[in-house]
Structure 1
Amino acid sequence: MTQLDSAQNSLWKIFLTVHTRLIDRVEQDFKQAGLPSFEWYDVLIALKQAPDQELRLSELAEELLVNRTNVTRLADRLEKAGLIQRKVCKDDRRGAFAVLTKAGLEMQQKMWTVYSQSIAQYFGRHLTQKDTVAFTKTLTSILTALDEES
């Protein structure tokens, strides 16, 4: 079993704290711009990047790392706002697809304008090119190991 040293433990705590604070800042920026919450952006970008801009709700839940119940409630709110629509799965009548609408794509693009500025302001400006390369390499290595272990 691998042991955690105090420096790694401190880094872990800083990593989690930075993540939480960055998301909080992005949420504030969305709110100030009159835009929906961060979780809405996650759904919209996942659908935008999916084949035919649609995913089964179960696939969307996996993509967002949330449970199916939470994604169903979230999809209800986005559908009510006209940002997605649901489509019955032909192969499985119990299943449904979330499909990105034109309004949903437009909202994702509006949100990206604010989000990308937030990333640059709160995150990117603190990193040199060397930091970015090292950070990317380290996080990619961790992600690859986690994928191989599961």
Structure 2
Amino acid sequence: MRMRMTELADAVLLSRSGVTRLVDRLERAGLVGRERADGDGRGIVAVLTPLGVERLRSASATHLTGVAEHFGESFGPGELEAFGRTCDRLAADDVYP
């Protein structure tokens, strides 16, 4: 997985300098690396390392278990499906440009 630093800043709602500091820490931990963007000598992309992918998968599993336990169980029969359709509609409407 790879993403331009500017796109990453937009995606995580941090300033460019904030994302640079975050990527610095993740790089020191061996979770990401930096590479030149293809076709753009000035652009930089953050790339997950194999350790970063492993850590992301582990965190995702923990996160999804917590969501199911603490949020999903609040829904009654049929409500979760209706909520899912609402989320799909919101995502399709591109509410967050």
Aligned to 2:2: 54
Instruction: Return closer, same or farther for 1:96/1:121 CA change in 2, 3 Å cut-off.
Output: same
More strand by share: 2
Calculate the aligned-residue CA RMSD, in Å: 2.1
Q: What TM-score, normalized by structure 1, do the two folds share?
A: 0.55
2:63 aligned to which of 102, 110, 115? 115
Aligned to 2:32: 84
Residue type matched to 1:132 in 2? L
More helix by share: 1
- SS of residue matched to 1:88: strand
Shift of 1:72: 1.4
CA distance in 1, matches of 2:43, 2:86: 38
Instruction: Return closer, same or farther for 1:139/1:109 CA change in 2, 3 Å cut-off.
Output: closer
Shift of 1:69: 2.2
CA distance in 1, matches of 2:77, 2:48: 35
CA distance in 2, matches of 1:110, 1:143: 25
Q: Give the aligned length.
A: 96
85-94 vs 102-111, greater mean Cα deviation: 85-94
Q: What TM-score, normalized by structure 2, do the two folds share?
A: 0.80
CA distance in 1, matches of 2:12, 2:77: 29
Aligned to 2:15: 67
CA distance in 2, matches of 1:126, 1:91: 48
* Structure 1 residues 93-131: Cα deviation after superposition (integer angstroms, max 9, x where no partner): 321111110110111122123212211111111123511
* Stretches (4+) displaced over 6 A: none
Shift of 1:73: 1.5
- SS of residue matched to 2:26: helix
